[in-house]
A and B are shown apart, each in its own frame.
Chain A
Amino acid sequence: MERLNPRVQILWALQALIGAGLLGGVVTGVLYVVRRDLLLLGPALFAVLALVGLLHTVLRYRIWRFEVQDDALFLHRGVLTRVRTVVPYVRVQHVDTQRSPFERLAGLSSVVIYTAGSRGADVTIPGLVPDRATSLQERLRTLVGERDTDDAV
């Protein structure tokens, strides 16, 4: 089973902190107008959210795993709800690599796998170094190509 690049933790932590910061900021702002005596609740909320977010990030990284198996891609993820997905190569419509601005900053890349399914229509593997993302995309493409059937639906 392959793990993600540890740097993805920075990315997720950053996202968690931004989220906590926004919410904490809004609450602080509202309190400033409504109940100035309770103003400290805002930063406190931020601290709690940030802590939970950071903890979640670490756990998320520890749990995230994937494997390129013989006939399917296997993913294992989720902190509260543990989700394991089997994506058979026969069902893959196409494979993309993606880099968001955040990911570019962290020097990371994601691979997105599309199927025709209604629920797992797109499966994302985040936190890959660009080289690994490209090689994974290539590998999946080959595996999918070997099984090219006419009816992906």
Chain B
Amino acid sequence: MKLHPLTILVRGGSRGLGFAVAGFVLGSAGGGALAARGVLPPIVSASGIPLAILFGAIGLGYEVIWHQRFEYELTQDTLNIDSGVLFRREREVPFRRIQNVDIRRSLFQRLLQIARVNIETAGGGSTEASLQYVGVEEARRLQREIQRRKGRSAEQTTAEDAEAPGADQRAEPETELLFDLDDRDLILYSILSFDPRVLSVLFVIIPSVAPMMGADVDQLTASVFLALGFLGALVLAFGIWVFSAFARFVQFYGFKLRRVGDELRYERGLLQRYDGSIPLEKIQSVVVEENFLMRHFGFASLSIQTAGYAPGASPTGGSEAAVPLAKRAELFELARTIEPFEMPSFERPPETARRRYAIRYSLVVGALLAVAFGVDRFLVTVPWYLVAVLFVPIPYAARKKWAHRGWALLDGYAATRNGFWRRRIHVVPDFRVQTVIDSRTIFQRRWGLGTVIIDTASSRSLVSQDASAVDIEAETAERLRDAIADRLQAALGYAPAERD
């Protein structure tokens, strides 16, 4: 199969234009310089436009040949792609290895009814194969067809004797709309998804920098500066918030999540349309995430972590929610259709953890106080003792941090909860556990506490932490670690081993 003919226009147009600009710059600047030095006759200084045309033609020609030589084909169990102008490349991607088939369309491509298809496999951050561009209908067909053939080749490997006549009859898998984000919720999400911690930086930096702008000013001017700085921070904060809300709105406009056979499909985007798939069998864990604004209004978002490739992680950038915003209860209902876990009732860390946080925060505030004192003493006069106000909310903060932690062992799942500003509930199926790590820092040991980390094969560990039960009693940690390891064995059908 060939790519869509408009590919020549889009790719050739952009490359031709790029080359033409380069040619024009080279011709007019380089030619002009050479002519000025008398190396070449003066006529050369006018070579900008001819060179632009020549380079543009080369760029366009390259893309024409590229299009001619690009060939893809779906066979029984592989996707074959032959491509390349100077270096030829023949690639076979087995359907079994394909995890995601994503369709992307920018605004321009949507006008032309063409789409880019990205084929992702497990492992490695980069896209395995990319088809730029095919018609929208063809893109949909590829997505459907790859899923269908993937299912078939999996069936063949697991049950060789299933060569029954029914094997080929699974034509159209049934489609079920799981979630549809309406405009009201989208706007709410755009506003609420903002992390206000970003702003706190402004309120520290700007008011403290503002007075320094005019050194050697009298007290009155200084306080005016301070007030202005505060006002500036407020305006800037509001601007950042609006901007982030707008970006979210554009990103998640028209979000829909469907279950198609054994895959989840989502689509979203106002200007650029994304259409991706998440195979259910590759799901490693589900994460319910809510920042404190969302939590306050009873909303939450859901993200799904898959092996090797998190939807949106590498190709589209940023963390991508499977369900950006829904009422908490609805969201859990939805999460349970994907992974049927029971509602966790979390066990909190012991009280000692709370005291530990209070002491930790006190040490931080103490250090800040010392720094402020140092600044006052050696640099500029500042009301350093005001920092002591930060001691007041410490018991409250420690309590909040403690109260939002927790862990639970459910039937077939382990769940952990962490974070006040951005609370994350991880739900990990027993049979997805990779390794179990139980660690105790030197400080935790003093308090008799420990942390259990449940490692899975998901690739999002840089963005969101692993599922972890933090600051639980050391003995509990040990039991939890062994329990999770045993449950993995049991889930995979092995008898749990004797432990001492």
Q: Tell whether B455 is near chain A: CB-to-CB under 8 Å.
A: yes
Cα–Cα, bound, A80→B442 (Å): 5
Q: Which of A25-33, A116-124, A134-142 contacts B (4 or more CB under 8 A)?
A: A116-124
Q: A71-B496, A117-B455 are in contact. Are A82 and B433 (CB under 8 A)?
A: no
**Complex: how many Å from CA A78 to CA B441?**
9
B326 on interface, CB distance cutoff 8 Å: no
On whether A153 and B308 interact (CB within 8 A), knowing A71-B489, A117-B456, A118-B459, the answer reads yes
- Chain B, Cβ-Cβ closest to A91: B434
A84 in contact (CB, < 8 A) = yes
Given contacts A119-B455, A120-B455, contact A88 B439 (CB under 8 A): no
B272-308 vs A, CB cutoff 8 Å, 1 = contact: the mask equals 0000000000101000000000000000000000011
| A48 CB to nearest chain B CB (Å) | 19
Closest to A83 in B: B439
Contact status A119-B438, CB under 8 Å: no
The distance in angstroms between the C-alpha atoms of A115 and B335, with both chains bound, is: 27
Residue B117 is within 8 A (CB to CB) of chain A in the complex:
no
A153 to B433, CA, bound (A): 9
Identify which of B438, B466, B494 contacts A118 (C-beta below 8 A). B466
State the CA gap A117–B308 with chains docked (Å).
Answer: 10
Q: Is A84 a contact of B485 with CB atoms below 8 Å?
A: no
Q: How far is the CA of A116 from the CA of B307 in the complex (A)?
A: 9
A72 to B307 CA separation, bound complex (whole angstroms): 22
Q: Is the CB of B481 within 8 A of A86?
A: yes
B455 touches A118 (CB 8 A): yes
**How close is A52's CB to chain B, nearest CB, in angstroms?**
14
* Structural contact, A120 and B437, CB atoms closer than 8 A: yes
**Do A153 and B122 touch (CB < 8 A)?**
yes
Beyond A90-B489, A149-B492, A153-B307, is A70–B498 a contact (Cβ under 8 Å)? yes
Chain A residues touching B, range: 20 to 34
Smallest CB-CB separation from B465: which chain A residue?
A119
B44 CB within 8 Å of chain A: no
Task: Bits for B96-133, please: 1 = Cβ < 8 Å to A, else 0.
Answer: 00000000000000000000000000100000000000
Q: Which residues of A contact B494 (CB under 8 A)?
A: 71, 90, 147
Instruction: Please tell me if A100 contacts chain B, counting CB pairs below 8 Å.
Output: no
CA distance A80 to B445 in the complex (A): 9
1/0 per residue, CB under 8 A from B, across A103-143: the answer is 00000000000011111100100000000000000000000
With A118-B457, A118-B461, A149-B492 already in contact, the answer to whether A78 and B435 are too (CB < 8 A) is no
Given A84-B481, A88-B489, A69–B437 Cβ distance below 8 Å?
no
**Chain A residue at minimum C-beta to C-beta distance from B432:** A153
Residues of chain B within 8 A of A69, CB atoms compared: 497, 499
User: Which among B433, B460, B498 is the interface contact of A88 at CB below 8 angstroms?
Assistant: B433
- B486 nearest CB across to chain A (Å): 8
Contacting B461 at CB < 8 Å: which of A85, A90, A119, A153? A119
Q: Once the chains are docked, how many angstroms separate the CA of A115 from the CA of B455?
A: 10
CA distance A71 to B492 in the complex (A): 12
Bound-state Cα–Cα, A153 to B492, Å: 12
Residue-wise, chain B 414-438 has the 8 Å CB interface mask toward A (1 for contact) of 0000000000000000000111111
Once the chains bind, are B439 and A78 in contact (CB under 8 Å)? yes
Q: A17 in the interface, Cβ–Cβ < 8 Å?
A: no
B488 within 8 A of A: yes
Q: Is the CB of A84 within 8 A of B439?
A: yes
Closest A residue to B481 by CB, please name it.
Answer: A86
Alpha-carbon gap, A54 to B447, bound state (A): 27
CA distance A70 to B258 in the complex (A): 43
The residue on B at minimum CB distance from A146 is: B494
Q: Which A residue's beta carbon lies closest to that of B439?
A: A83
| A71: chain B residues within 8 A (beta carbon) | 485, 489, 494, 496-497
The 25 sampled A-B contact pairs (Cβ below 8 Å) are A69-B497, A71-B485, A71-B496, A72-B497, A81-B439, A82-B440, A82-B445, A83-B439, A86-B437, A86-B482, A88-B435, A90-B489, A91-B434, A91-B435, A115-B455, A116-B457, A117-B434, A117-B456, A117-B457, A118-B461, A120-B437, A123-B435, A153-B282, A153-B307, A153-B308
- 19 more contacts with CB within 8 A, not counting A85-B435, A118-B459, are A71-B485, A71-B489, A72-B485, A81-B439, A81-B440, A82-B439, A82-B441, A84-B481, A85-B436, A88-B435, A90-B489, A115-B435, A118-B434, A118-B460, A118-B461, A119-B437, A119-B455, A119-B466, A120-B455
